[in-house]
Amino acid sequence: MRDVARLLAFNEHEWSLLWLYTLHRDPPTPLHPRSGTEVRGAWQDVIDGISHIAYITDQSWRVVTYNKAFAEIFPSGRVPTNTMRWMLLAPEAREVLMGWDEHWLPMVLPQLRAAMAALPNDETLAGIEKDVLADPVAGPLYEAGGGSYIHPDGDERPLLHARLGPGWVSLCTAEPLSSPRARLMVMIFRPGEERRHTGPAILRAT
């Protein structure tokens, strides 16, 4: 089916419709390899217009764009080029991501495993996986498998903000639909060592 779609010069919208009409589900991977590595320029305006911490990564968790609030998280002042690599392997992450081994690592490792299953030929992900396996802390947990965690949307986790101190972030994720497997992350930071989210747990249409 992929060969036919490429022969007919389908775009990602047409590829998705082909899957929906024939197999009644979304395609497991983009039609074109580049589709998950780039987003439309209008998303820069979206990022610039968000006051909360916000950034976009591609299918390999490489940072495509971000706002000032995201850059202010890091004690080094340097935004990582790849958030997956940073979360799993950077010494800085184990300080910034409070409770790293409890609140972050067990949730992030299954995301990497799921991405490798979907994109087995992605060299960036393969390099991260290789280095994770060599890590004395993350490696054994990754090899042990387990966990069905494939995205962080709706989670609340502790974070040590470089400027604002300890707090909790609510994680909100979305996908630019023309860029399969790219992801928009918005992190709503609330200072303080105790959770204090007071918004509605679930929103529904009325």
Give me the sign of the Cα torsion angle 148, 150, 151, 152: positive
Q: Quote the pLDDT of residue 109.
A: 96
Nearest partner of 167 among 201, 198, 195, 199, judged by Cα: 195
Nearest partner of 151 among 188, 123, 118, 114, judged by Cα: 114
How sure is the predictor about 87, in pLDDT bands with cuts at 50, 70 and 90? very high
Q: Quote the pLDDT of residue 181.
A: 86
Dist. CA 20–CA 12, nearest whole Å: 12
Nearest partner of 58 among 107, 119, 120, judged by Cα: 119
pLDDT in tens, 95-109: 999 999 999 999 999
Question: Which of the two residues, 31 and 136, has the higher pLDDT score?
Answer: 136
pTM of the complete model: 0.85
Percent of the chain's residues with pLDDT above 90: 62
Beta-carbon count within 10 A of 115 CB? 21
pLDDT in tens, 6-39: 666 677 667 667 777 887 877 767 765 666 778 8
Q: Examine the pLDDT at 55 and tell me if it is beyond 90.
A: yes
How sure is the predictor about 185, in pLDDT bands with cuts at 50, 70 and 90? very high
Give domain 38-191's CATH number out of 3.40.190.10, 3.30.830.10, 3.30.450.180, 3.40.50.1370: 3.30.450.180
Q: Quote the pLDDT of residue 34.
A: 64
Dist. CA 41–CA 18, nearest whole Å: 26
> How do the domains of the chain map onto residue ranges?
1-31, 38-191
Question: Which of the two residues, 179 and 71, has the higher pLDDT score?
Answer: 71
